[in-house]
Amino acid sequence: MGVQLNIGVISLLLLFTSTAKAQSDVFDVVARYGAKADEETDLRQPLLDAWKEACESTAPSKIVIPEGSYLLSQAALEGPCKAPIELQVQGTVKAPADPSAFKEPNWVVFNRLDQFTVSGGGVFDGQGATTWGKNDCVKNKYCAALPINLRFNFVSNAMIQDITTKDSKQFHVNVLGCKNISFLRFTVSAPEDSLNTDGIHIGRSEGVNITNTVIKTGDDCVSLGDGSKNVIVHGVTCGPGHGISVGSLGKFQDEEPVAGVQVSNCTLTNTQNGVRIKSWPASYPGTASDMLFEDITMNNVGNPILIDQQYCPWNQCNLKLPSRIKLSNISFKNIRGTSSTQQAVKLICSSGLPCEGVELADIDITYSGPEGPATSQCANVSPKLSGKQNPSACSSPA
């Protein structure tokens, strides 16, 4: 796994290094297009003007947002472009704090790009604190209408490195229809009470690498929706947040399979969940397979290892009908640390489609609460066991 990760990231770095050497022009939004770092003048038009000129260039190009603090109302940066392009953000770009400024759930959008880089050490600040406490995302559609900080739509061969996304009003990053896109030394920063602010959400994308990344947020640190294929999450520090999640799956018709997920060398601290796979009961049919969770440290984590095919938040579903998502070839290896809940391992699979090929190897998770030691619960699954099993595998009644 490590070899695959290194080759993928190194090849992208080599690509962008060679691109940088070939650059013929730099499009500075301040020097060339009159942008002002005064937090009042909208960066939108200077940025779009720079983007248009750079995108038309037949030589590799770089757009620079210099140090300073800028207001950006909204920007959709569209491709395809004629040559590789880099957006170097050195400053802080701020969204309008008032959510009524947005007619659509978009703030910064990257569309249909190939050989694209975002770098520079800068910050995208969604100024979401004004929205988190106003409505309950669970019971209404308010959250769905809020802007996502960064959207990557149908982007290929991309590297997003040394960038921070802060205080998004909704998801921080949404990756849709992308291929070979890497997040390296990426940072997500939001408080625990920030509602519906998933760090990086992936859907219908292939070849996504998230490496050496720090995610602090109020929802899933990384979430994988349907159609996520060949995803590597390596060296991620998560917490606060809801953990690293596959799903929830099966809520909508014609969802695409999830296949080839590797989560390794991650540390989760004070999160609501650890590594989990979740699907709805009474779901539409689908599959999720070939998933490895390995070398993971849990520090005071709720539900450290969780398969939940009865995922039913707010009790708004039919638990009498089983999930129709088939789960297979799932390994949990060398997962250790402490649980904040007694149920450290919970594998609740579908009664209609029991899980197949589940493996527990070298599990060592302790719980020191008043109820007693950590427990392990299983339903509709017979996992293959090897190495240490603490708690004793599947020892609690389902």
Predicted confidence (pLDDT) per residue in 342-353, tens digit: 999 999 999 999
Nearest residue to 258 (alpha-carbon basis) of 236, 277, 273: 277
> pTM to 2 decimals?
0.94
- Per-residue pLDDT at 133: 79
CB burial string 81-95: b at 16+ within 10 A, e below: bebbbbbbbebbbbb
Residues in the chain with pLDDT values less than 50: 1-3, 18-23
pLDDT of residue 16: 54
**How many angstroms separate the Cα of 353 from the Cα of each of 279, 282, 285?**
12, 12, 10
Topology annotation, domain 2-132+147-390: Pectate Lyase C-like (2.160.20)
What pLDDT score was predicted for residue 143? 76
pLDDT of 4 reads: 52
Which are the catalytic amino acids? 242
Cβ neighbourhood burial of 257 (10 Å; 0-12, 13-18, 19+) = middle
Q: Residues 290-331: pLDDT tens digits?
A: 999 999 999 999 999 999 999 988 777 877 899 999 999 999
For position 138, what pLDDT does the model report?
Answer: 62
Give the DSSP H/E element, type plus range, for residue 120.
Answer: none
User: In 158-171, which positions are buried (b, 16+ CB within 10 angstroms) versus exposed (e)?
Assistant: bbbbbbbbbbbbbb
270-282 pLDDT, tens digit per residue, is 999 999 999 999 9
Q: 86 and 120 in contact (C-beta within 8 Å)?
A: no
